[in-house]
Amino acid sequence: MAKKPTLAFFDFTGCEGCQIEFTNLGDEAILELLKHVDLVEFREAMSETTTQRIDIALVEGSFTREMDRERLMDIRRRARTVIAYGACACTGGINALRNHQDDYHEVVYGEHATDPMVLSSPARPISAVIDVDYEVPGCPADKYELVQILTDLLHGKRPFIPTYPVCVECKRRGTVCRYDEGDYCMGQVARAGCGAPCPAAGIPCEACRGFSADASLASLEKVLMERGGMSQARAISKTRMFTANLRG
Protein backbone atom coordinates (compact mmCIF):
# COMPACT_ATOMS: atom_id res chain seq x y z
CA MET A 1 0.00 0.00 0.00
CA ALA A 2 1.33 3.43 -0.95
CA LYS A 3 2.31 5.71 1.90
CA LYS A 4 -0.25 8.42 2.60
CA PRO A 5 0.77 12.11 2.45
CA THR A 6 1.43 13.65 5.86
CA LEU A 7 -0.53 16.62 7.21
CA ALA A 8 0.46 18.80 10.18
CA PHE A 9 -1.06 21.82 11.94
CA PHE A 10 1.15 24.45 13.57
CA ASP A 11 0.08 27.48 15.60
CA PHE A 12 1.66 30.83 16.32
CA THR A 13 0.05 34.02 17.68
CA GLY A 14 -3.69 33.49 17.48
CA CYS A 15 -6.67 32.02 19.27
CA GLU A 16 -6.41 28.63 17.49
CA GLY A 17 -10.03 29.04 16.46
CA CYS A 18 -9.27 27.93 12.91
CA GLN A 19 -8.04 24.58 14.19
CA ILE A 20 -11.11 24.26 16.41
CA GLU A 21 -13.27 25.01 13.38
CA PHE A 22 -11.57 22.14 11.55
CA THR A 23 -12.63 19.75 14.32
CA ASN A 24 -16.21 20.93 13.76
CA LEU A 25 -16.19 18.88 10.57
CA GLY A 26 -17.19 16.04 12.88
CA ASP A 27 -15.86 12.55 13.37
CA GLU A 28 -17.25 11.08 10.16
CA ALA A 29 -15.71 13.69 7.85
CA ILE A 30 -12.38 13.71 9.67
CA LEU A 31 -12.16 9.92 9.61
CA GLU A 32 -12.86 10.01 5.87
CA LEU A 33 -10.03 12.53 5.44
CA LEU A 34 -7.70 10.32 7.45
CA LYS A 35 -8.18 7.58 4.89
CA HIS A 36 -6.16 9.77 2.54
CA VAL A 37 -3.64 11.58 4.81
CA ASP A 38 -1.65 10.84 7.94
CA LEU A 39 -2.22 13.54 10.56
CA VAL A 40 1.19 13.79 12.27
CA GLU A 41 0.83 16.95 14.38
CA PHE A 42 -2.32 18.72 15.60
CA ARG A 43 -2.23 20.15 19.11
CA GLU A 44 -6.00 20.43 19.40
CA ALA A 45 -6.52 16.70 19.03
CA MET A 46 -3.27 14.81 19.64
CA SER A 47 -0.13 15.00 21.74
CA GLU A 48 2.24 13.54 19.13
CA THR A 49 4.60 15.87 17.25
CA THR A 50 7.02 15.30 14.41
CA THR A 51 10.44 16.47 13.28
CA GLN A 52 10.21 14.60 9.97
CA ARG A 53 9.45 15.82 6.47
CA ILE A 54 5.84 16.92 5.96
CA ASP A 55 3.81 16.96 2.78
CA ILE A 56 1.31 19.65 3.82
CA ALA A 57 1.84 22.10 6.70
CA LEU A 58 -1.07 24.27 7.85
CA VAL A 59 0.21 27.26 9.80
CA GLU A 60 -2.23 29.24 11.94
CA GLY A 61 -1.53 32.55 13.70
CA SER A 62 0.52 35.64 12.95
CA PHE A 63 4.23 36.26 13.37
CA THR A 64 4.75 38.51 16.40
CA ARG A 65 7.91 37.27 18.11
CA GLU A 66 11.40 37.13 16.70
CA MET A 67 11.97 33.92 18.64
CA ASP A 68 9.43 32.24 16.35
CA ARG A 69 11.38 32.95 13.17
CA GLU A 70 13.54 29.82 13.33
CA ARG A 71 10.51 27.62 14.02
CA LEU A 72 8.73 29.01 10.96
CA MET A 73 11.83 28.52 8.84
CA ASP A 74 12.15 24.95 10.09
CA ILE A 75 8.55 24.25 9.08
CA ARG A 76 9.26 25.68 5.63
CA ARG A 77 12.39 23.53 5.25
CA ARG A 78 10.52 20.38 6.18
CA ALA A 79 7.24 20.96 4.36
CA ARG A 80 6.60 20.35 0.70
CA THR A 81 3.56 22.66 0.78
CA VAL A 82 2.90 25.42 3.31
CA ILE A 83 -0.60 26.84 3.70
CA ALA A 84 -1.29 30.01 5.67
CA TYR A 85 -4.39 29.00 7.59
CA GLY A 86 -6.80 31.73 8.66
CA ALA A 87 -6.76 35.52 8.74
CA CYS A 88 -3.95 35.86 11.27
CA ALA A 89 -1.56 33.74 9.20
CA CYS A 90 -2.64 35.32 5.89
CA THR A 91 -2.66 39.03 6.79
CA GLY A 92 -1.86 39.36 10.50
CA GLY A 93 -5.59 39.38 11.20
CA ILE A 94 -7.07 41.11 14.23
CA ASN A 95 -3.66 40.88 15.88
CA ALA A 96 -2.41 43.52 13.44
CA LEU A 97 -4.69 46.18 14.93
CA ARG A 98 -1.99 46.68 17.53
CA ASN A 99 0.34 47.88 14.80
CA HIS A 100 -1.67 51.12 14.86
CA GLN A 101 -1.59 51.45 18.66
CA ASP A 102 1.71 52.81 19.98
CA ASP A 103 1.08 51.97 23.64
CA TYR A 104 -0.72 48.65 23.26
CA HIS A 105 1.61 46.90 25.72
CA GLU A 106 0.70 49.38 28.44
CA VAL A 107 -2.99 49.37 27.55
CA VAL A 108 -3.24 45.57 27.67
CA TYR A 109 -0.72 44.57 30.34
CA GLY A 110 -0.44 47.64 32.57
CA GLU A 111 2.38 47.34 35.08
CA HIS A 112 3.51 44.07 33.47
CA ALA A 113 4.01 45.67 30.05
CA THR A 114 7.79 45.22 30.15
CA ASP A 115 7.78 41.62 31.37
CA PRO A 116 9.77 39.43 28.93
CA MET A 117 6.90 36.99 28.51
CA VAL A 118 4.61 39.61 26.97
CA LEU A 119 7.09 41.55 24.84
CA SER A 120 6.38 41.18 21.15
CA SER A 121 6.72 42.93 17.79
CA PRO A 122 4.16 44.18 15.27
CA ALA A 123 1.89 41.40 14.05
CA ARG A 124 2.65 40.26 10.52
CA PRO A 125 1.52 37.43 8.23
CA ILE A 126 3.74 34.36 8.12
CA SER A 127 4.65 35.31 4.55
CA ALA A 128 6.79 38.05 6.11
CA VAL A 129 9.16 35.28 7.18
CA ILE A 130 8.68 32.32 4.84
CA ASP A 131 7.33 31.60 1.38
CA VAL A 132 3.70 30.47 1.44
CA ASP A 133 2.24 28.25 -1.27
CA TYR A 134 -1.46 28.82 -0.60
CA GLU A 135 -3.71 30.79 1.73
CA VAL A 136 -6.99 29.83 3.37
CA PRO A 137 -8.28 33.19 4.62
CA GLY A 138 -11.12 33.86 7.04
CA CYS A 139 -11.77 34.20 10.77
CA PRO A 140 -12.17 31.37 11.30
CA ALA A 141 -11.04 29.73 8.07
CA ASP A 142 -13.91 27.86 6.44
CA LYS A 143 -13.61 24.14 7.19
CA TYR A 144 -15.22 23.11 3.92
CA GLU A 145 -12.93 25.34 1.89
CA LEU A 146 -9.95 23.74 3.61
CA VAL A 147 -11.22 20.26 2.77
CA GLN A 148 -11.66 21.30 -0.87
CA ILE A 149 -8.12 22.73 -0.99
CA LEU A 150 -6.68 19.58 0.58
CA THR A 151 -8.67 17.47 -1.89
CA ASP A 152 -7.32 19.46 -4.82
CA LEU A 153 -3.74 19.12 -3.56
CA LEU A 154 -4.11 15.37 -3.06
CA HIS A 155 -5.36 15.09 -6.64
CA GLY A 156 -2.52 17.20 -8.02
CA LYS A 157 -4.77 20.17 -8.82
CA ARG A 158 -4.08 23.81 -8.08
CA PRO A 159 -6.67 25.02 -5.55
CA PHE A 160 -8.99 27.82 -6.61
CA ILE A 161 -9.25 30.67 -4.10
CA PRO A 162 -11.61 33.46 -5.25
CA THR A 163 -10.46 37.07 -5.49
CA TYR A 164 -13.82 38.59 -6.48
CA PRO A 165 -15.96 40.40 -3.87
CA VAL A 166 -18.50 38.97 -1.44
CA CYS A 167 -21.26 40.96 -3.17
CA VAL A 168 -21.11 38.37 -5.96
CA GLU A 169 -22.00 35.60 -3.51
CA CYS A 170 -24.78 37.69 -1.94
CA LYS A 171 -26.31 38.12 -5.39
CA ARG A 172 -26.12 34.37 -6.00
CA ARG A 173 -27.91 33.70 -2.71
CA GLY A 174 -30.51 36.39 -3.29
CA THR A 175 -29.50 38.15 -0.09
CA VAL A 176 -30.89 41.65 0.45
CA CYS A 177 -28.05 44.19 0.61
CA ARG A 178 -27.25 45.36 4.14
CA TYR A 179 -27.28 48.96 2.91
CA ASP A 180 -30.87 48.51 1.75
CA GLU A 181 -31.62 47.48 5.33
CA GLY A 182 -30.10 50.68 6.69
CA ASP A 183 -26.94 48.90 7.81
CA TYR A 184 -23.31 48.98 6.62
CA CYS A 185 -21.24 46.26 4.93
CA MET A 186 -17.79 45.76 3.41
CA GLY A 187 -18.81 43.03 1.00
CA GLN A 188 -18.10 45.25 -2.00
CA VAL A 189 -14.35 44.99 -1.36
CA ALA A 190 -14.14 41.78 0.72
CA ARG A 191 -12.65 38.63 -0.78
CA ALA A 192 -15.31 36.02 -1.51
CA GLY A 193 -15.13 32.27 -1.00
CA CYS A 194 -17.06 31.96 2.24
CA GLY A 195 -20.49 31.80 0.62
CA ALA A 196 -21.51 35.12 2.25
CA PRO A 197 -23.18 33.60 5.33
CA CYS A 198 -22.94 36.78 7.43
CA PRO A 199 -25.06 39.10 5.25
CA ALA A 200 -27.53 36.23 4.76
CA ALA A 201 -27.90 36.12 8.55
CA GLY A 202 -28.37 39.89 8.77
CA ILE A 203 -24.77 40.58 9.82
CA PRO A 204 -22.50 42.99 7.91
CA CYS A 205 -19.46 41.52 6.17
CA GLU A 206 -16.29 42.61 8.01
CA ALA A 207 -13.84 41.43 5.30
CA CYS A 208 -12.29 38.72 7.48
CA ARG A 209 -10.95 37.08 4.30
CA GLY A 210 -9.09 40.21 3.27
CA PHE A 211 -9.76 42.34 0.23
CA SER A 212 -10.80 41.37 -3.27
CA ALA A 213 -8.57 42.08 -6.24
CA ASP A 214 -8.30 45.80 -7.10
CA ALA A 215 -10.42 46.82 -4.10
CA SER A 216 -10.87 50.60 -3.79
CA LEU A 217 -10.53 51.45 -0.12
CA ALA A 218 -11.18 55.13 -0.79
CA SER A 219 -14.53 54.20 -2.31
CA LEU A 220 -15.28 51.89 0.61
CA GLU A 221 -14.65 54.67 3.11
CA LYS A 222 -16.92 56.98 1.13
CA VAL A 223 -19.74 54.42 1.12
CA LEU A 224 -19.33 53.72 4.84
CA MET A 225 -19.62 57.44 5.54
CA GLU A 226 -22.41 58.31 3.10
CA ARG A 227 -24.59 55.20 3.40
CA GLY A 228 -23.30 53.61 6.60
CA GLY A 229 -23.50 56.82 8.60
CA MET A 230 -19.93 56.62 9.89
CA SER A 231 -17.44 59.39 10.55
CA GLN A 232 -14.26 59.25 8.48
CA ALA A 233 -12.24 58.13 11.51
CA ARG A 234 -14.75 55.35 12.21
CA ALA A 235 -14.77 54.27 8.57
CA ILE A 236 -10.98 54.01 8.49
CA SER A 237 -10.96 52.11 11.78
CA LYS A 238 -13.66 49.71 10.58
CA THR A 239 -11.75 48.84 7.41
CA ARG A 240 -8.72 47.85 9.51
CA MET A 241 -10.48 45.21 11.60
CA PHE A 242 -9.06 42.18 9.80
CA THR A 243 -6.89 43.98 7.29
CA ALA A 244 -4.71 46.40 9.27
CA ASN A 245 -1.58 45.29 7.41
CA LEU A 246 -3.25 45.59 4.02
CA ARG A 247 -4.49 49.16 4.21
CA GLY A 248 -1.99 50.95 6.50
pLDDT band of residue 247 (cuts 50, 70, 90) is low
pTM score, whole prediction: 0.90
Position with higher pLDDT, 170 vs 217: 170
Rounded CA gap, 196 and 170, in Å? 6
Rounded CA gap, 47 and 31, in Å? 18
pLDDT, tens digit (0-9, with 9 covering 90-100), for 161-206: 898 999 999 999 999 999 999 999 999 999 999 999 999 999 999 9
DSSP state letters, 126-191: GGGTS--SEEE-BTTBPHHHHHHHHHHHHTTPPPP---SBHHHHHHHHTPPPGGGGT----TTTBB
**N-to-C CA span, the chain:** 51
Rounded CA gap, 172 and 183, in Å? 20
pLDDT, tens digit (0-9, with 9 covering 90-100), for 104-146: 777 778 888 788 777 788 899 999 999 999 999 999 999 999 9
How confident is the model at residue 100, as a pLDDT? 81
How confident is the model at residue 248, as a pLDDT? 58
pLDDT, tens digit (0-9, with 9 covering 90-100), for 148-163: 999 999 999 999 989 8
Name the strands in the sheet holding 134-136, side by side, starting at the edge strand that comes first in the sequence. Answer: 38-41, 6-11, 54-60, 79-85, 134-136
How confident is the model at residue 2, as a pLDDT? 60
Rounded CA gap, 209 and 242, in Å? 8
